[in-house]
Structure 1
Amino acid sequence: MRRQTIAVAVAVLAGAVGCTSPPTDDTLASPFSDSSPWRQPIPAEVRVDPQSTAMIAAVQPEPALNANLGEYGIPIVAVDGDTPTHTVTCTRIDYGICPFAGWPVAIPDGAEPNSGSDGVLVTVDESAGTIFEFWRATHDGDTWSTEFAAVNSLRGSGWGGAATGSGASRLGGVIRLAEIADGEIPHALALQSNNACPTFRPPALKSDGYSTRPDCIPEGARLQLDPAVDLDALNLRPGELAVARAMQRYGGYLMDVSAAPLSVSFELDRDAAPGEVGQTYSDAGFRWDYDAMENVPWDRLRVLE
């Protein structure tokens, strides 16, 4: 995530936290309201962006959707009233008021951000319906800080704050361990690209993209795997099949910048041994961090208008 427009970030954060719907028993498993963009299937009749072919060619020099399983996997930690709380400061004062200011932020003992340059950590208080999202988190013992952050509602839209470049919740679109184990991903996916435009479209609220190429993809754009592709005929590994089906049914939103042409966010298996992706992902056929899932014809992606 790069420098954001402070006024937009603060205004969006206030709206996102205030947007709530009645709690359910499985909000952590199925976060956000029923009307959230993350939870909407793609209609049968859609319009494709006129520049779709060029945009997809730009991010598919060879067919790949890189799976962020390890270094940039998302640590998602459930917390409750018994979890220790901390005063967490934001070190990027030029971004505006720290979203964690005044909050007792629950962080379990032993919690760690991911090892990538984004230093991501997500803690979720299901009973309160609150998501604390860290960007470049660090700690010295029990003293925590983060470059910037967001506080979002587990029952809101899944968009708001400055924990990601587009204003998406850091929990939004993340492929969960349980979803891979079940073989079913019932939501749109969180995508990143090195060819993101500095412009954006709804549901994104801003952009950290910097590509000025004519074939760049705006943040907030929704990508879909062509539903005409017969996935059952491709002999896909179980994890590839689950991701490909989700990309046909729900698609994915470009919501941040990455070093790869195109990548997708997964929950970090915090029990995985160093350098490994963990048993659940291995059982589903994922071989390593950044697995390209190359058996899926990702060159058949399209950008929706």
Structure 2
Amino acid sequence: MRTSRRSLLSAAAAAAALAVATVVVPGAASAASPVVPRQERAVSGRPSFPVGADVSGPRGGLFGPTSVWRQDVRSAPVNPNSRALVAGLHEQVSTLYNGVAAFNVSNYSTNVYSVAATQPRVDVAWDNCQKKTYTPKGLLGPGGQFTAVPIPDDAVPARGSDGQLTIYSAATDQLWEFWQAKRVGGRWQACWGGRIDRVSTSPGYFSDGFGVAATGLSFSAGAVGIKDVQAGSIDHALSLQVVWPAKWTTFSWPAQRSDGFSTDPNAIPEGLRFRLDPSVDVEALNLTPIAKMVARAAQKYGFIVTDKAGAVALTAESGSAVKAATGVDPWTKLMGGTPHYEVMRGFPWERLQALPMNYGKP
């Protein structure tokens, strides 16, 4: 199910520049994502990466404990309009795609490369696929968002037309996210993206109109990670994409902007937080193991509305980078034979609670 990719410098952004119990999936421990040195990747037809590169993201997410993605919301107050907001979200889930929210793991997700300090850096070319009439300030050149990126030559963008790719360097405490990334004529290029410096202390969003999500929030931060599921616990907030977000002029922190369009007075603003009612007994729910992990995370850290899409959707880290390195997609085992479109069946969307607008804003 496709994540809609709008003009990422939306009207709001153009004007500016111009964030318990554990269920372990059976067998998951043996499916841990590898850190595979070059010599062990000398398999015909498969990419090779620098020594120490890891073809998946770190467990527990990319950002530190002070970020919006790690904020405990169990004791947060409830939005006065929570009932209407939750009803609207529940309607969006129940009326589309057989009443099951999407679990975007096969397409419209992102691959995450945790690169070593020794990874060579290259400049990423700007593919002006949106036909802008100007070069966005700060994108290219010295210190630019696309300058000196430690991206492996044979990195694999996630499947789908969004072609998203995330590069994380713990050594330099930096994160890059790219939209429509591809390698052309031996050189990397992307249509849009951005860089976050000092990731460990960052609030978890991009500034100045950069970043691949419509809200400017980190796209990869709220994804269900491979290592999260292997460990049996998601220890960060989750990105939530909705179908009919409120018009772009109304959004809630930590969103930095919006591409919403609905003028319904009860439309969900991008950036709004939801949590699963902490009184819900997750163990009693008839859910897949992954959906139970999502439910526990939603009770403690909640969902953050990051984007619009053709269906209510969660994002999972793509397994295609691991498959490119090892020949095996880890999600095949982690989902235990459940199709990706059935992973979230039975999730109690009607038991969510909306948090106040701009909750947690300093």
- Whether these two folds match at TM > 0.5 is yes
Measured after TM superposition, the shift of residue 28 of structure 1 is 4.2
Q: 1:259 to 1:2 in 2, by over 3 A?
A: same
Q: 2:162 aligns with which of 118, 125, 130?
A: 118
C-alpha distance in 2 between matches for 1:120 and 1:217: 25
Q: 2:117 aligns with which of 74, 81, 104?
A: 81
Task: Name the % identity.
Answer: 30
Q: 1:287 to 1:224 in 2, by over 3 A?
A: same
- Is 2:70 aligned against 1:39? yes
Q: Tell me, yes or no, if the aligned pair for 1:98 and 1:148 is still in contact at 8 Å.
A: no
Q: 1:127 aligns with which of 171, 179, 182?
A: 171
Measured after TM superposition, the shift of residue 220 of structure 1 is 0.4
C-alpha distance in 2 between matches for 1:100 and 1:81: 22
- Is 2:239 aligned against 1:170? no
- Is 2:191 aligned against 1:142? no
Q: 1:52 to 1:287 in 2, by over 3 A?
A: same
Q: Tell me, yes or no, if the aligned pair for 1:89 and 1:144 is still in contact at 8 Å.
A: yes
Relative to the length of structure 2, the TM-score reads 0.72
Deviations 1:7-54 (A, max 9, x none): 5368xxxxxxxxxxxxxxxx9444223211110111325213413244
Corresponding residue number in structure 1 for 2:42: none
- Is 2:169 aligned against 1:97? no
Measured after TM superposition, the shift of residue 98 of structure 1 is 5.2
Structure with the bigger percentage of strand: 1
Give 1 or 2 for the bigger CA radius of gyration: 2
Hey, which bits of structure 1, 4+ residues long, moved more than 6 A? Answer: none
RMSD across aligned positions (CA): 2.5
C-alpha distance in 2 between matches for 1:271 and 1:171: 16
Q: 1:256 to 1:45 in 2, by over 3 A?
A: closer
User: Match for 1:77: what amino acid?
Assistant: Y
Describe the SS at the equivalent of 2:299: helix
Q: Tell me, yes or no, if the aligned pair for 1:163 and 1:169 is still in contact at 8 Å.
A: yes
Q: Tell me, yes or no, if the aligned pair for 2:181 and 2:191 is still in contact at 8 Å.
A: yes
Q: 1:180 aligns with which of 212, 229, 232?
A: 229
Q: 1:158 to 1:45 in 2, by over 3 A?
A: closer
Q: Tell me, yes or no, if the aligned pair for 1:90 and 1:149 is still in contact at 8 Å.
A: no
Q: 1:256 to 1:263 in 2, by over 3 A?
A: same
Report the more deviating stretch, 45-54 or 165-174: 45-54
Deviations 1:209-262 (A, max 9, x none): 2233343211100011222221111243211111111111111100112111x1
User: Match for 2:14: what amino acid?
Assistant: I
Corresponding residue number in structure 2 for 1:64: 100
Describe the SS at the equivalent of 2:269: strand
C-alpha distance in 2 between matches for 1:116 and 1:47: 37
User: Match for 1:263: what amino acid?
Assistant: A
Q: 1:59 to 1:277 in 2, by over 3 A?
A: farther
Corresponding residue number in structure 1 for 2:359: none
User: Match for 2:330: what amino acid?
Assistant: Q
Q: 1:57 to 1:28 in 2, by over 3 A?
A: closer
C-alpha distance in 1 between matches for 2:88 and 2:64: 31
C-alpha distance in 2 between matches for 1:194 and 1:53: 13
Report the more deviating stretch, 177-186 or 86-95: 86-95
Q: 1:194 to 1:80 in 2, by over 3 A?
A: same
Matches within 5 A, 1:286-305: 287-305=338-356
Unaligned runs of 5+ in 1: 11-26
- Is 2:161 aligned against 1:157? no
- Is 2:264 aligned against 1:213? yes
Describe the SS at the equivalent of 1:105: coil
Relative to the length of structure 1, the TM-score reads 0.84
Describe the SS at the equivalent of 1:224: strand
Measured after TM superposition, the shift of residue 84 of structure 1 is 3.4
C-alpha distance in 2 between matches for 1:173 and 1:49: 25
Q: 1:281 to 1:225 in 2, by over 3 A?
A: farther
Unaligned runs of 5+ in 2: 19-56, 357-362
